[in-house]
Amino acid sequence: MDETSRTKIPDRSPRRASRRDALRRFASFTGASPLFQGSADAQQETQTTASEEEPGYLSQEPLRGRPRIIRPPEYSDEIMAPVNLHDFEGLAKAKISPMAYDYIAAGAADELTKQANSEAFDNYWIRRRAMTDVRQIDTSIELLGERREHPILLGPAGAMHMLHEDPYSTIARAAKNSGAIYVGGAENMAEVTQAGEAPTWWASTLGSPTPETAATFAKSVQDGGGSAICVSVDYPYTGARDRVIRNEFDMGMIPERNYSTSEPPTNGFQSGMIQAYVPNMTWRYMDWMHAATDLPIVVKGIITAEDAHLSVENGAQAVVVSNHGGRTLDGMRGTMEVLPEVVDAVAGRVPVLVDGGVRRGGDVLKALALGARAVLIGRPYMWGLGAFGQEGVQRVIELLHGELRIALGNAGQTSVSNLDRSLIRRAWLPREW
């Protein structure tokens, strides 16, 4: 086929508004509106008694030819009003300070990578299979020796006190109630783990790592009940986030301040200033931690085959494809675009996870079909926390899990363990595909 006969590649310019951006802007506009409330009468019409086996999801039993819509009875009408993860952003924006909103929502520089994370999902289309018995849907996975109800994890995030007075324990309890693993980074993670009574991976982004600090942290995770250590390797310097700089945001405003230096600049995000976070981390850090603990170590922040190989060679028991939500370095590809590269490099030796831009159950389906074992979400559950506290976080997870179940069934799939690349195709085909 000559070049002139090739299918024209659609314009994927970051400047062009995507469908996801439109949804986000709509949510921001409507979130504070009193009109953005679900109809109590309409909701009541669809409410039935939930089965003990499937609370909060579509019933497996047909009712006069239609599935029963099950409404969790413990939630208020206000919490039930959001119908997807996009909606929570607008609701949170209406309740938190503009400075807090910009800090969480911001990506680095022109936010091209943040946008690329979302748009990358739109580059894949699902090949639905028909005439399959999908009455029974299995979303469970095996991860680091544990069986999990679904493949959705809550990724590490800081600055949570801008959203809630007791954020980390609240998130941990929500994770327990929703069957999710919480990857937390609070200084009091032992208390958080105890409060949540659920598996927690402790996130590590230690500044100026040494054998001593690595060993101390690893021992604290083991003694505190953590089930794994998640090491972020993509954060040597704080990213230049324009809207944070314009707000003259001061890191000292965050109660759980955690700096790599003892005395950061008064305004660590001021334009032209460089704020080191973890500038001297090397693969030696893995050796130090392995020497101190037998807990699994997960490496987060991998976007190349080369680093995927190095992660496994240095003892990583899982790898997370991540560009830090587009918050550190602008100009990188979306994580879904690099996921196949990392999966192929790992070659089944360890599980591969992915984060960045996951907003729909179909997104989770696509990621798993490309080889991910699970996904992590960040901003969506933070918006849920800011809007409704613990119940908001729970509802975010439940909505995403419910959408995944629906996507599986409508795609003719009965289990996430059966997914592979045959289920999806690129929306456009580059030469290397």
Residue numbers annotated as active site: 324
Strand positions, DSSP E, 196-268: 200-204, 228-232
Q: What is the DSSP letter of 67?
A: E
Does residue 182 contact residue 163 with C-beta atoms inside 8 Å? no
Does residue 300 contact residue 233 with C-beta atoms inside 8 Å? yes
Does residue 97 contact residue 386 with C-beta atoms inside 8 Å? no
Structural tokens at position 418: 């059966």
Kind and range of the H or E element at 403? Answer: helix 390-410
- Taking phi first (over 0 means left), then psi (-120 to 50 degrees means alpha), and beta for anything else, what does residue 326 get? left
What distance separates the 2 farthest-apart alpha carbons in the chain? 67
Structural tokens at position 135: 């009455």
Q: What is the DSSP letter of 154?
A: E
Helical spans, DSSP H, in 6-97: 19-30, 40-46, 77-80, 85-93
